Chains A and B, each alone.
Chain A
């Protein structure tokens, strides 16, 4: 639609008045037919979906009710507001020892070396610096969730809540986000403000002509 005024200018410049008079009509017709086509498509899809389920029973009755204990076994996720964090606590000193024993082999002695993901922003580093926790992680709760579910790589899911809290405290301290005496708990962890949070935006690509 943005190109229409330019197009009209070109038509006017050419002196072709009959076409100019016809333009609004043509445009109206083009727009209406396109909208109608979209609406028709939409309706046909809706209609198909409705037709598909209208003969269905309210419930098929397949499967069983999930019990609370069944759900609790699996439901370990932790959300940015702290929901899902277990009882426990951890400190930087304990976390540093755990890191050396269980994490340093993959992430480097100080978290800056690798060979696998760099976790700590090196002194004087610029930019994303390998997407470290300090430069690229928007939520501190994600650290707890991920370490708990998938680390260490050779023994995933083997850490206690206190150990995960301690590692989280140490890694946040190593990235200059927490002081050395910080203690992480279900209450304190969601309060941690991450430097990268303000950088995150939701996908703004929409299809159509624009490249984003």
Chain B
């Protein structure tokens, strides 16, 4: 039983669910949901109720729940991530709008989520600086703060191979939040970064002691040290209590649980920027420091496992680019023979998931639907064949942003069209 459940004591009657049996109120039912009830003593407590309690009664004939300390999802809405040993994926097909709820933000970590006491948290900045400094969390929060909305995406965010794959499975290692924190440039100014410093090492305090080398210009440009996510403290899986945030760059560079920044005049060539997060390209070469995430889009509806009805369909999805704003998203409903411009939902932000929609009448014929994004640099989301032509047969699995196609069958079944290259 959940530890948070408070058992009603003898003589305490719940005011709002008198019809529910005492035995159920005391918990133990496998399908119990947590709800708040008021005891006879006037104390508001949590108790277990079967889900049937939400549906059996006419809601207009019974008083509803009192206000509570923390909100709960409707028991009818139980979205979950899709975890593996090292990551969990955002259910893109089930979300509305441009913000990913914090508890559904994708995870990728290399040695688990560390437990960090915010009172003991420290960030050390040293190396090629005038004044090596250490900042506590409270210090970081005193500096002028900024908020921005941007996406994060793992550079390994591409899966294929089966028809029965959801957007979550194909592309669920991207999410978007409003982040709040201090500009790294503000801290650079405070410690006095020396003009000859060209790189900095960002180091996390997880068991991998994650490290990446980052060009100093990104620090002066738009890098943040964030402690806020969607209005509250960032989640432990997202780097609590503070992380680096490099808008538009591959997720691994936004080092979580950030404990140290060292300024240098050369990259450190850590494992995560040499043998990992680098990709084989043409002529036996291996491409390194591939920071920016190129423009990409994916249709999130209709997608597998949707069973589509004939008639008007609003095709929906998200598009994003690590190089700036999305300029245009085109949708094809005839397997790529023709393309129509989708409507972009405002706001269209720099380095941010942008929601697109396209109204279409499906008359019941078999077809393929797909979307392609163009960003403000003029980059057009490529096909997998174009990526393969550019990078060669040894093409690695990082930075793959191909056009994603869903096959629509006559019976309304929607399937992913898996394309493979090796």
Q: A153 with B377: in contact, given A62-B142, A79-B269, A211-B382 (CB under 8 Å)?
A: no
Interchain nearest-CB distance for A157 vs B (Å): 7
- Among A99-107, A139-147, A180-188, the stretch that binds chain B is A139-147
Q: Is residue A5 within 8 Å, beta carbon to beta carbon, of the partner chain?
A: no
- Among A18-26, A87-95, A197-205, the stretch that binds chain B is A197-205
A71 CA / B134 CA spacing, docked (Å): 9
Cβ contact within 8 Å between A146 and B290:
no
Q: Is residue B409 within 8 Å, beta carbon to beta carbon, of the partner chain?
A: no
Q: Chain B: how many interface residues by the 8 Å CB criterion?
A: 61
Interchain nearest-CB distance for A108 vs B (Å): 17
Q: Is residue B31 within 8 Å, beta carbon to beta carbon, of the partner chain?
A: no
Q: A212 with B390: in contact, given A201-B285, A205-B294 (CB under 8 Å)?
A: yes
Q: A74 with B270: in contact, given A150-B111, A200-B288, A212-B390 (CB under 8 Å)?
A: no
Interchain nearest-CB distance for A101 vs B (Å): 20
Please indicate the chain A residues that have their CB under 8 angstroms from the CB of B379 in the complex. 207-209, 211
Please indicate the chain B residues that have their CB under 8 angstroms from the CB of A60 in the complex. 142-143, 190
A149 CA / B286 CA spacing, docked (Å): 25
Q: Is residue A80 within 8 Å, beta carbon to beta carbon, of the partner chain?
A: yes
Q: Is residue B80 within 8 Å, beta carbon to beta carbon, of the partner chain?
A: no
Shortest Cβ distance from B191 into A: residue: A63
Please indicate the chain B residues that have their CB under 8 angstroms from the CB of A201 in the complex. 281, 285-288
Q: A207 with B375: in contact, given A65-B133, A139-B274, A212-B390 (CB under 8 Å)?
A: yes
Cβ contact within 8 Å between A156 and B209:
yes
- A residues 47-84 near B (Cβ < 8 Å) are 52-53, 56, 59-60, 62-66, 70-71, 74-77, 79-81
Cβ contact within 8 Å between A128 and B390:
no
Q: Contacting A63 at CB < 8 Å: which of B126, B190, B207?
A: B190
| A60, A63, A208: most-surrounded residue (chain B CB, <10 A) | A63
A-B contact pairs, 12 of them (CB 8 A): A66-B125, A66-B126, A141-B269, A142-B274, A150-B111, A150-B207, A150-B271, A156-B209, A199-B285, A200-B274, A207-B323, A207-B324
Which residues of B line the A interface, CB within 8 A?
110-111, 124-126, 131-136, 139, 142-144, 189-190, 201, 203, 207-209, 211, 259-260, 262, 264, 266, 268-271, 274-275, 278, 280-281, 284-292, 294, 323-324, 375, 377-380, 382, 386-387, 389-391, 394
Number of A-B contacts (CB under 8 A): 148
Cβ contact within 8 Å between A63 and B294:
no
A32 CA / B126 CA spacing, docked (Å): 44
Interchain nearest-CB distance for A179 vs B (Å): 23
- With A63-B134, A137-B275, A142-B270 already in contact, 14 other A-B pairs whose C-beta atoms are closer than 8 Å: A52-B144, A56-B189, A74-B124, A133-B275, A142-B269, A156-B111, A157-B209, A200-B288, A201-B281, A203-B292, A205-B294, A207-B323, A208-B377, A211-B387
Q: Is residue A15 within 8 Å, beta carbon to beta carbon, of the partner chain?
A: no
Please indicate the chain B residues that have their CB under 8 angstroms from the CB of A63 in the complex. 133-136, 139, 190
A183 CA / B270 CA spacing, docked (Å): 22
Q: A149 with B190: in contact, given A79-B269, A127-B394, A203-B291 (CB under 8 Å)?
A: no
Cβ contact within 8 Å between B211 and A137:
no
Please indicate the chain A residues that have their CB under 8 angstroms from the CB of B111 in the complex. 150, 153, 156
A41 CA / B241 CA spacing, docked (Å): 35
Q: A70 with B124: in contact, given A138-B274, A207-B377, A212-B390 (CB under 8 Å)?
A: yes
Please indicate the chain B residues that have their CB under 8 angstroms from the CB of A77 in the complex. 201, 203, 211, 262, 268, 270
Please indicate the chain B residues that have their CB under 8 angstroms from the CB of A98 in the complex. none
Please indicate the chain B residues that have their CB under 8 angstroms from the CB of A70 in the complex. 124, 134
Q: A136 with B190: in contact, given A65-B132, A66-B133 (CB under 8 Å)?
A: no
A207 CA / B294 CA spacing, docked (Å): 7
Interchain nearest-CB distance for B260 vs A (Å): 5
Cβ contact within 8 Å between B286 and A209:
no
Please indicate the chain B residues that have their CB under 8 angstroms from the CB of A62 in the complex. 135, 139, 142-143, 190
Please indicate the chain A residues that have their CB under 8 angstroms from the CB of B189 in the complex. 53, 56
Cβ contact within 8 Å between B274 and A128:
no
Q: A203 with B287: in contact, given A62-B139, A141-B269, A209-B378 (CB under 8 Å)?
A: yes
Closest 3 CB pairs of A and B: A207-B377, A63-B135, A146-B271
Please indicate the chain A residues that have their CB under 8 angstroms from the CB of B208 in the complex. 149-150, 156
Cβ contact within 8 Å between A203 and B270:
no
Q: Contacting A74 at CB < 8 Å: which of B144, B190, B259, B278?
A: B259
